[in-house]
Amino acid sequence: MGYFTSQQKHKWSTEKRGGKWRGSLPMPHEGFLPQLGLERFHSVGIMGLNSQEWVIASIGAIMAGGFSVGILSTNSPKACQVIAESSEIDIFVVDNDRQLQKVIQIQGYLKHLKAIVQYKEEIRTRLQNLYSWRGFLDLADGISEDTLDRVIDSQKPNQCCTLVYSLSVTGPPKAMMLSHDNITWTTVATAQSLSYKCPPEEQEVLVSYLPLSYMSAQLFDMWISIFVAGALYFAQPDALRGSLVDTLQEVKPTTFHGVPWVWDRLLDSLKTNQLASSPFRRRIDKWAMWLGLRTNKRRILGQLHPPLCFSLAKKLTFNQARKSLGLHHCRQFFNLGLGLPRATMDYFLSLNMPIFELYGLSESTGIHTLSRQQDFRLLSCGKSLPSTHTKMQREDEEGIGDIHIWGRNVFMGYLNDEENTQEKIDVHGWLHTGDLGFLDTDEFLYIMGNARDIITLSSGERINPNPIEARVKRHIPIVRYVVVVGQDAPYLCALLTLKCQVNMDTGEPRNALTSEAVAFCRHLRSQATRLSDIVYDGDPVVLEFISQGIDAANAEVSSDSAKIVKWTILETDFSVAGGELGATTKLKRAMVAKIYQTEIERFYKEDEES
């Protein structure tokens, strides 16, 4: 394994410490035991950006008989306190002074906390129980191997080793218990199903940038890379603010996984390059992408032999597009989050880069269904892992029902929460996901939304907003996010955001539209280049186009209740910094409703006044 910085590449090397060879990774479980006082079944809280130290601390905590607890670096001190108290954290491992100050602020309330380890930056605060990373590793010297072996041998496959927290806007976070068997079985099943390569045949190269506190990212970045002896590189802290492509170009991964927001950013980069090319080059790309989309859709239907000119399109366009993103060595592309727009999927498919959808929850150890080259359907999340099962319950007239799953990937339950555990897992071991979907005749799973997303109108009619939002995005390409609202209201309304550039330093959206959005405005014969040109100045051409797009989306629904009656364009795009998106850029509907409560109330207030 290795890690990457913008200046140079570093390798984790075999080192000799305390007269003994420790292998290729310095394992800190020796230091966690007697020196720092990690008790059996207590936790090590790890809070920081992805790094080799994060991985080492997590594995060390498990080997020492404790629980590894990943904590988002964006968490508030109060959220950290709730997690630390419920999981009985004995040791905090943090990456910098900013995270350290959060722990210092709450340590007086934490009765189990014994030590803090800071693994990056120079330590500015002096505390008796605060250790540098090097000082922490030095604690392991002199610990007998027999002591360590006894702890490791005492662990059983069905015992918990990792806690994954789901943060809720409406209540306290819940700790999901994952066992050794959950992680090892799911790792092996996923790696084998996706045909990962292993030395000496070939070494997989992966880039870690999505928060490791999320189970799906942890499964791919940590456990699968270890299982296949892969090379794992860690992206820069500003990866999601713009430096990710630089890292990809340097590392050249063989497998890449992203979330919808990341795929949209990569799409923006490709379209920017295309717009900057010559008219002749654009004509070539247009022909190649037409051929690529047609060929790949036929391949999905079983027509495996591409036309003779496909190799020419590959040489002229497809290879160049991959190289511009640093993905020219990639064999597989995965999407880890729901909600990837069909237009985005088709765009990459036209460049011979099929994005394989996966589906899973933290409660299913991050994954349950997966798509592969030989098992791939557009808009589907693929088929269940081997020896696992998926079924639909309470199906409606269209065959859409509640998704229930079963298998060795299903978690142990919620920590100290028997009531919620019994609600989530029934007596037969089926996990009630809370998601809605259907299985086709070939057992491919399609996700149609989450039960929590369902809007109940004042008439009592229940509406799933996800298909409505997808239709609006399809008809209005310059829209980034659509959030349909209308809980307990007489009709549906929509909040729209337009595609805006991102400030690479802060991660906040700019006023300037993306090059793709500007090009589309030019296509409409609009001169708009900024969001304010449309929102504040009321660009008539763009507003009329959006209105027509809403009408077109409404025309596709059979029920008037599922039509959008009113809509508004928000003054900013959604972002992690703004609170509308989670750390993996997943839309947080409850937060959107809270942040834009005034705009939502304004939709219906006009009716009351009239």
Q: What is the mean pLDDT of each run of 10 residues along the chain (610 residues)?
A: 40 36 49 73 95 94 94 92 96 96 96 94 89 86 76 92 81 91 98 91 93 95 95 88 89 94 90 90 96 93 86 96 96 90 93 96 97 89 97 88 97 96 96 95 93 90 91 94 94 96 83 91 94 93 96 92 95 90 83 94 78
State whether residue 153 is helix, strand or coil. helix
User: Which value, in Å, is the radius of gyration of the alpha carbons in the chain?
Assistant: 25
How distant is the alpha carbon of residue 443 from its chain centre?
25
pLDDT for 26: 56
- CA-to-CA distance for 425 and 443, rounded, in angstroms? 22
pLDDT for 47: 97
In sequence order, the 6+-apart residues with CB closer than 8 A to the CB of 338 are 260, 359, 381, 447
In sequence order, the 6+-apart residues with CB closer than 8 A to the CB of 108 are none
- CA-to-CA distance for 12 and 401, rounded, in angstroms? 48
Which is the CATH superfamily of the domain at 234-403+433-448? ANL, N-terminal domain (3.40.50.12780)
Name residue, tokens 């629904």: 557
In sequence order, the 6+-apart residues with CB closer than 8 A to the CB of 414 are 174, 175, 176, 177, 420, 421, 424
pLDDT for 280: 95
* DSSP conformational letter for 169: S
- CA-to-CA distance for 214 and 236, rounded, in angstroms? 18
Question: Token pair for residue 423?
Answer: 């609600």
- CA-to-CA distance for 365 and 176, rounded, in angstroms? 10
In sequence order, the 6+-apart residues with CB closer than 8 A to the CB of 307 are 291, 295
Write down the pTM of the prediction: 0.86
- CA-to-CA distance for 328 and 251, rounded, in angstroms? 11
State whether residue 599 is helix, strand or coil. helix
pLDDT for 1: 45
pLDDT for 31: 54
Describe the chain by its helix, strand, coil percentages, rounded to 5. 40, 20, 40
- CA-to-CA distance for 217 and 479, rounded, in angstroms? 28
**Which residue spans of the chain are classified as CATH 3.40.50.12780?**
2-180+210-232, 234-403+433-448
- CA-to-CA distance for 341 and 334, rounded, in angstroms? 14
Which is the CATH superfamily of the domain at 454-609? ANL, C-terminal domain (3.30.300.30)
Tell me which fold the domain 2-180+210-232 belongs to: Rossmann fold (3.40.50)
Question: Token pair for residue 599?
Answer: 């705009």
pLDDT for 305: 85
pLDDT, tens only, 176-217: 999 999 999 999 999 999 989 888 888 999 999 999 999 999
pLDDT for 285: 96
Tell me: cis bond preceding 34? Omega within 30 of 0 counts.
no
pLDDT for 5: 38
pLDDT for 170: 59
Phi-psi region of 398 (alpha: psi -120 to 50; beta: other; left: phi over 0): alpha
How distant is the alpha carbon of residue 404 from its chain centre?
22
Task: Note whether 570 and 599 are within 8 A (CB).
Answer: yes
Question: Token pair for residue 532?
Answer: 């304010």
**Which residue spans of the chain are classified as CATH 3.30.300.30?**
454-609
CB neighbour class for 80 (10 Å; exposed up to 12, middle 13-18, buried from 19): buried
Per DSSP, what are the bridge partners of residue 10? 3
Question: Token pair for residue 527?
Answer: 């001169």
pLDDT for 449: 87
Report the candidate in 438, 431, 437 with the shortest Cα–Cα distance to residue 450: 437
How distant is the alpha carbon of residue 526 from its chain centre?
35
